[in-house]
A and B are shown apart, each in its own frame.
Chain A
Amino acid sequence: MKRRHLRLKAGFVACAAVAAMACALPTAGAEESVSAGSAQPAKPIPALLVAHPERSVMFDVKRTGSHFVAVGAHGVILRSADGERWQQIASPVDTALTWVSFAGGSDGWAVGHDAVILHTADGGDSWSLQNFQPSLDSPIFSVVALDAKTAIAVGAFGLLKRTADGGEHWSDVEAPELTTGKYHLFAVTRLRDGKLFAVGEAGLMGVSDDTGQSWKKLDAIYDGPLFGVLPWREHGAVAYGLLGNIYMTDDVVSGPWKKLDGGPESSIFGGMTLDDGGVLLVGANGTEIHIAADGHLLDGTAHGQSDGSGTWTSVAATPSGLVLAGEPGLVDQKE
């Protein structure tokens, strides 16, 4: 595979932070509390329209009808017809957008920090702000659009919101099994049989078979964080998380779940289903894991560990190959 980096973001930033941490970890612990902060309620600040939006850290990229839409840090929203040339779309907020989801070609939502929920009715060409709650200090990490009216969003500290009117109203879902522990919910997706599946901190897994109105918690199979989940076969799912932990099942309700071994020990942050029934997962240190339709790790596709080219959080198929989103921005990967 040949790679064309849209942007070689200086690894310096991340590295300096880690180095600083390495020195300071033993002294960690909050010691001061000073009253600062402003009295006025925070207002959303529109994103800067910039020359190189693709250089931003990007968190999600999705295909929608005829277009691709990607979201990332600094409120960057990008849209492309071919997955290669991107155009920045005006965004009402300039904080990180973490996830985007479309129902059909035109209706979709993007979510992010400050509990931001943005809506588009024109395939991502323009966006309006539906939810903004900075005082929550809780990012929304994932959203799934079921149709033009219905969508479910999940986020930190057990945030779970639902709309049934196209986003006129976003209300908190009563799902005590999932939300009372205030664990972070990192992702929500729709399985092939229509069930909704959410994953989160401490191996949290929840399932809903009524378009997200009620949720049932599943027994934990793992005690670390699960960062995402993809549909697998007719009733199953592939859940992925910290340090290469990948669990899969043919039926999310009845199980059994099995751990996929043999992959690199890198955290997985995103992925996509493939036309042949397989799954492609991406994650830290340039990790790419290809799971074939038969449920086995495909040889030679487990990058990572030696690559170190950056952390990926999302991937989508383009006419010419793949487009990856992550710390290095948007990067083309040609077949």
Chain B
Amino acid sequence: MHGDSRGWFATLFVRITEPLIFSKRPITLVVIGLMTVLFGYQASQLKLDSGFEKQLPKNHEYIKILKKYQSQFGGGNTMLVAVSQKTGKGDIYNGAFLASLKTATDAVFFLPGVDRTRISSLFTPNVRYIESVEGGFRGGNVIPSGFKPTPEALAQVHQNVVKAKIIGRLVSNDQTSAMITSELVDQNPRTHKQLDYIKTSHLFEKIRQRLTTPDMYTLKLKREDAPFPAGTVVTTEYRDPRGLLSYFKTIDATLVTPKGETVERSFELRDLSVEKKKNPDYNPDIDVEIIGFAKVIGDVADASIEVVSFFALTVFLVWMVLAYYMGSFRVSLYPLSCGLLAVVWELGILHLAGYALDPFAILVPFLVLAISVSHGIQITSFWLLEVSDRGLDSLAASRATYRRLVIPGITALITNIIGFGTILLIPIGIVREMAINAMFGLIAVIVCKKVLLPCLLSYVKVRDPHAFRAYQQRRDERLQPIWNRMAGLTNRPVAFVVLLLAGVTWFGAHLVARDLQIGELHAGVPALKPTSTYNLDSEKIANNYSIGVDVLQIYGETKKNACIDYDIMHRISRFNWYLENVPGVVSTTSMATLDKVVWAQYNESNPRWMELPRSQDGLILSGQQFTTSTGLLNDDCSVMPTYVFTSDHRATTIDTIISAIKDYKKTSPDDASLTLALAGGNVGVMAATNDVIKDTEYTVLFWLYAAIALCVVVSFRGIVGLICILVPLAAVSVYTYAIMVFLGIGETVATLPVAAFAAGIGVDYGIYIFSVLEENVKVKRMPLREAYADTLHQTGKAVVVTALALSASVATWVLSGLQFQVDMGILLTIMFAANAVAALVMLPAFSAFLMKAKTMTLTEGATAQ
């Protein structure tokens, strides 16, 4: 079939479809045009969306446990805002700082989506100091009511902070920073609407701007907009909202109507007047750090949108490559615009199928462009050959191109689809979505490239065929010596050396690749770069406070009222102490450990009482103030989680901790009265994800190669093609693993699909080269060397240019603000280029030994046809 357009099916397919497409070209174009309008409209409706759920490997046991307890012990929705004195500006005990902290606390309090009962800062009434005094307790607010920043009052606040034992939690260890902790409500209890995390993130960001920017911009209504009179202050911004496209900008604001209702409205910026003022809340001595899940979502979304702007750069780069190759900016626009059309189709189909675009999958459109351009090059290149070498007119060249390339092209794309399909084996929603997205893209590519492009090319008027042909031939002549030289690879001694080198490097790479780690290798939020604002904020908070952002939850499943059973509590406490000694664990907390602290508090805060009381009464007393909202126990106290704060979420850290827990459970096995069930928290999710990657890695690669092998065997009906095409591909995978080790890239949800994508696309090179080479040798009976030189003349330059275009289209991801996109970009760029080189070099070397050995002697001095 494929590569062999003489098969009966292929002949039939072409005989039916060619007249269908080319005899009524206007109709073909109109149909495609209408579909484009439909998909274009759909694509314009597509939204950027992200969700926590689909990042989870649903079927993993940890995740099943997590789902079971998530609603009770979720607690992952904390937002932390730290207001910090800049270095050298002293501690927090001064009037200006406390004023800023109060402003920030109030601002957080009034944000929609924030649980107002669970905000803590020095200024909230739930933060009190308590001390044991003779015969009881004494306590009060850390910041006394009627506080004025006098030296005495500031000293009092300082003392209260120490007594309240909030250093490390609400005040940094060096007391130069103070924290506002808050929790977000995932679902609005009144409207049952899901919280808009991206918007919430932006509102938190505005608090930072409010405290750290000197100027502010008041936006007022220019004219009446019922029910609001002209001059109503709509909102205040801290970045100048005016700019290049301000005419089209809309401003979302929450306003109170004259009747006292709170409404959310959008205004056109052009209907508002902007007034610049001094910002009264500006404090030049402070920085603000913000971390939390919502902020991650917001920052990732913002960075993803940034990536979209690289798309223009990508398109430009690809155009340049194409234009050089084709010698015409105009002609190169055809494959390029067909590629863009494929992207529009892909996005349209995606929305039609009910999906939104995840920041994680935002790279798929780039890939679709890359793939479609790669096929476009093959088609345009063949078409050019027909026009320039054979002197056919545009239409005849188009039809010839269609006849020759539709079958290998579609088979290559089907191979791609199967390759991407294997990614579906990874049971993580977000990865599957990406695979489905990419498969939609490939369907779009088949139509846009195989049907539309030849159709459009048939209309191309080559104004000066002679000049055009001359350019093609000049360039081909320049390249011919290179091709002739490369054809030397088919000489057996040369081929032997090449294969030997490949074998040795493969083995070397394999040794290096054994160090490849699964999971994240860097601290900070893995999606974002280590130098991103978020990760710097997170690092600063982690350094200055004693709270961790990386947490593993282990659920102690036990019996009813277990928190007043000494044996159970003691077992949990012992387990916690064990964990605290595992490398990578910073601290642990659970009801069992906190009971001890409270027990000591009840005993005049004498630390020597810090132990679990044996009696039920003692356990009742020390545990009774922990409500279920603390996340330390469930309603009937039959589940008590242990929170393990880890130093980071590097793969090695997680592995160490998980295997330590497994070891512990060997010596202290779970039984009917207590089961320590793994796992929740962000680290638990990562542990599960790493497990899934480890488990499915080989499955995915096996089916990927099996599928490709099947396609190749069916197409070329022989083992020769299999070896010539598959071995270079496999070699590149191993080299890539070695490169990942060198670059410090771990095998993650983001990089695992890359292997499949790259192999799926990389196989095209081999297929195109091998199909032409085989035809030259078997049908045209050329000697191998001559056959390969001719193959290179026909498709080799296309392969090189394709590799360049593909690499160009993904190389821009390196500029992304998202770490996984940077990693993917680096890997894909390398793999696209390496696959081309491997195919060009290794494929002829293999064929030297495997293909038609008797023609070898005739190769000397052969030139292209």
Answer whether A and B are interacting partners: yes
Check B597 against A306 for contact (C-beta < 8 Å).
no
Bound state CA distance, A30 and B617, in angstroms? 8
- Does A238 belong to the interface (CB within 8 Å)? no
Which residue from chain B places its CB closest to the CB of A58 in the assembled complex?
A: B607
Check A20 against B625 for contact (C-beta < 8 Å).
yes
- Does A137 belong to the interface (CB within 8 Å)? yes
- Does A8 belong to the interface (CB within 8 Å)? yes
- Does B593 belong to the interface (CB within 8 Å)? yes
Check B601 against A243 for contact (C-beta < 8 Å).
no
A30 touches which one: B127, B562, B586, B620 (CB < 8 A)? B620
Chain A residues lying within 8 Å of B589, measured Cβ to Cβ, are 10, 12-13, 16
Check B164 against A313 for contact (C-beta < 8 Å).
no
Bound state CA distance, A197 and B154, in angstroms? 42
Chain A 267-285 interface residues, beta-carbon cutoff 8 Å to B: 267, 269, 284-285
Chain B residues lying within 8 Å of A48, measured Cβ to Cβ, are 574, 577-578, 581
Bound state CA distance, A307 and B91, in angstroms? 13
Check B598 against A17 for contact (C-beta < 8 Å).
yes
State the Cβ distance, A287 to closest chain B Cβ, in Å.
10
Q: Given A23-B625, A284-B605, A139 and B162 touching (CB < 8 A)?
A: no
Check A12 against B546 for contact (C-beta < 8 Å).
yes
Check A326 against B607 for contact (C-beta < 8 Å).
yes
Q: Given A57-B607, A327-B607, A18 and B168 touching (CB < 8 A)?
A: no
- Does B287 belong to the interface (CB within 8 Å)? no
Bound state CA distance, A227 and B600, in angstroms? 13
Which residue from chain B places its CB closest to the CB of A18 in the assembled complex?
A: B165
Chain B residues lying within 8 Å of A56, measured Cβ to Cβ, are 577
Check B578 against A50 for contact (C-beta < 8 Å).
yes
Per-residue CB contact flags for chain B residues 137-148 toward chain A (1 = under 8 Å, else 0) read 101000000000
Chain B residues lying within 8 Å of A21, measured Cβ to Cβ, are 130, 598, 601, 625
Check A73 against B165 for contact (C-beta < 8 Å).
no
Check B162 against A308 for contact (C-beta < 8 Å).
yes
Check B167 against A25 for contact (C-beta < 8 Å).
no
Which residue from chain A places its CB closest to the CB of B571 in the assembled complex?
A: A45
State the Cβ distance, A5 to closest chain B Cβ, in Å.
10
State the Cβ distance, A2 to closest chain B Cβ, in Å.
16
Q: Given A15-B165, A18-B164, A242-B132, A36 and B564 touching (CB < 8 A)?
A: yes
Check B130 against A55 for contact (C-beta < 8 Å).
no
State the Cβ distance, B122 to closest chain A Cβ, in Å.
13
State the Cβ distance, B584 to closest chain A Cβ, in Å.
11
Per-residue CB contact flags for chain B residues 93-130 toward chain A (1 = under 8 Å, else 0) read 00000000000000000000000000010000011101
B577 touches which one: A27, A74, A98, A186 (CB < 8 A)? A74
- Does A33 belong to the interface (CB within 8 Å)? yes
B126 touches which one: A8, A19, A311 (CB < 8 A)? A19
Bound state CA distance, A308 and B167, in angstroms? 8
Per-residue CB contact flags for chain A residues 56-77 toward chain B (1 = under 8 Å, else 0) read 1101000000000000011000
Chain B residues lying within 8 Å of A45, measured Cβ to Cβ, are 570, 574
Check A30 against B546 for contact (C-beta < 8 Å).
no
Chain A 210-239 interface residues, beta-carbon cutoff 8 Å to B: 223-225, 227
Chain A residues lying within 8 Å of B609, measured Cβ to Cβ, are 139
- B: interface residue count bin: 35 or more
- Does A318 belong to the interface (CB within 8 Å)? no
Per-residue CB contact flags for chain B residues 546-582 toward chain A (1 = under 8 Å, else 0) read 1110000000000001101111001000100110111
Bound state CA distance, A271 and B102, in angstroms? 41
Which residue from chain B places its CB closest to the CB of A113 in the assembled complex?
A: B611
State the Cβ distance, B542 to closest chain A Cβ, in Å.
11
Chain A residues lying within 8 Å of B586, measured Cβ to Cβ, are 10
Bound state CA distance, A209 and B587, in angstroms? 47
Check A19 against B120 for contact (C-beta < 8 Å).
yes
Q: Given A36-B561, A306-B158, A14 and B625 touching (CB < 8 A)?
A: no
Check A305 against B159 for contact (C-beta < 8 Å).
yes
A34 touches which one: B162, B561, B597 (CB < 8 A)? B561
Q: What's the A-B contact tally at a CB cutoff of 8 Å?
A: 206
Q: Given A12-B547, A37-B566, A306 and B162 touching (CB < 8 A)?
A: yes
Check A57 against B610 for contact (C-beta < 8 Å).
yes
Chain B residues lying within 8 Å of A1, measured Cβ to Cβ, are none
Chain A 115-162 interface residues, beta-carbon cutoff 8 Å to B: 134-135, 137, 139, 141
Chain A residues lying within 8 Å of B587, measured Cβ to Cβ, are 9-10, 12-13
Q: Given A96-B611, A305-B159, A327-B607, A17 and B597 touching (CB < 8 A)?
A: yes
- Does B86 belong to the interface (CB within 8 Å)? no
- Does B292 belong to the interface (CB within 8 Å)? no
Q: Given A11-B167, A55-B580, A113-B611, A20 and B626 touching (CB < 8 A)?
A: yes
Q: Is the interface of B mostly helix, strand, loop or mixed?
A: mixed
- Does A94 belong to the interface (CB within 8 Å)? yes
Bound state CA distance, A269 and B782, in angstroms? 96
Check B546 against A141 for contact (C-beta < 8 Å).
no
Bound state CA distance, A227 and B134, in angstroms? 13
- Does B335 belong to the interface (CB within 8 Å)? no
Bound state CA distance, A9 and B546, in angstroms? 8
Check B132 against A313 for contact (C-beta < 8 Å).
no
Which residue from chain A places its CB closest to the CB of B565 in the assembled complex?
A: A36
A25 touches which one: B162, B561, B570, B625 (CB < 8 A)? B625
Check B616 against A225 for contact (C-beta < 8 Å).
no
Bound state CA distance, A113 and B173, in angstroms? 32
Chain B residues lying within 8 Å of A25, measured Cβ to Cβ, are 130, 137, 139, 625
Check A242 against B133 for contact (C-beta < 8 Å).
yes
State the Cβ distance, B414 to closest chain A Cβ, in Å.
55
Bound state CA distance, A37 and B562, in angstroms? 9
Chain B 494-524 interface residues, beta-carbon cutoff 8 Å to A: none
- Does A95 belong to the interface (CB within 8 Å)? yes
Q: Given A22-B139, A243-B131, A135 and B165 touching (CB < 8 A)?
A: no
Q: Given A10-B587, A21-B625, A34-B564, A243 and B133 touching (CB < 8 A)?
A: yes
Chain A residues lying within 8 Å of B564, measured Cβ to Cβ, are 34, 36-37
Chain A residues lying within 8 Å of B132, measured Cβ to Cβ, are 242-243, 267
State the Cβ distance, B672 to closest chain A Cβ, in Å.
12
Chain B 590-622 interface residues, beta-carbon cutoff 8 Å to A: 593-594, 596-598, 601, 604-618, 620-621
B610 touches which one: A30, A94, A96, A306 (CB < 8 A)? A96
Check A139 against B611 for contact (C-beta < 8 Å).
yes
Check A24 against B594 for contact (C-beta < 8 Å).
no
Bound state CA distance, A224 and B566, in angstroms? 30
Chain A residues lying within 8 Å of B235, measured Cβ to Cβ, are none
Which residue from chain A places its CB closest to the CB of B138 in the assembled complex?
A: A243
Check B169 against A11 for contact (C-beta < 8 Å).
yes
Chain A residues lying within 8 Å of B570, measured Cβ to Cβ, are 45
B163 touches which one: A33, A51, A242, A285 (CB < 8 A)? A285
- Interface centre among B132, B133, B561, B577, by most chain A C-beta atoms within 10 angstroms, is B577
Check A18 against B130 for contact (C-beta < 8 Å).
yes
State the Cβ distance, A96 to closest chain B Cβ, in Å.
4
Chain A residues lying within 8 Å of B605, measured Cβ to Cβ, are 267, 284
- Does B366 belong to the interface (CB within 8 Å)? no
Chain B residues lying within 8 Å of A99, measured Cβ to Cβ, are 608
Which residue from chain B places its CB closest to the CB of A50 in the assembled complex?
A: B581
Top-10 shortest CB links A-B:
A24-B625, A11-B168, A10-B587, A50-B581, A224-B134, A308-B162, A17-B597, A96-B611, A10-B546, A137-B614
17 A-B pairs with CB atoms under 8 Å apart are: A8-B546, A10-B586, A11-B168, A12-B169, A12-B645, A16-B169, A19-B166, A30-B621, A36-B565, A37-B616, A56-B577, A73-B611, A137-B614, A284-B605, A285-B163, A306-B158, A313-B607
Besides A21-B625, A56-B577, A223-B134, 20 other CB < 8 A contacts? Answer: A12-B547, A16-B169, A17-B598, A24-B626, A25-B137, A25-B139, A34-B616, A37-B565, A37-B616, A50-B577, A53-B581, A55-B581, A57-B610, A59-B608, A74-B574, A135-B614, A267-B132, A284-B605, A305-B158, A313-B608
A residues sitting closer than 8 Å to B (CB atoms) are 8-25, 27-28, 30-34, 36-38, 42, 45, 48, 50-53, 55-57, 59, 73-74, 94-96, 98-99, 112-114, 134-135, 137, 139, 141, 186, 223-225, 227, 242-243, 267, 269, 284-285, 305-308, 311, 313, 326-327
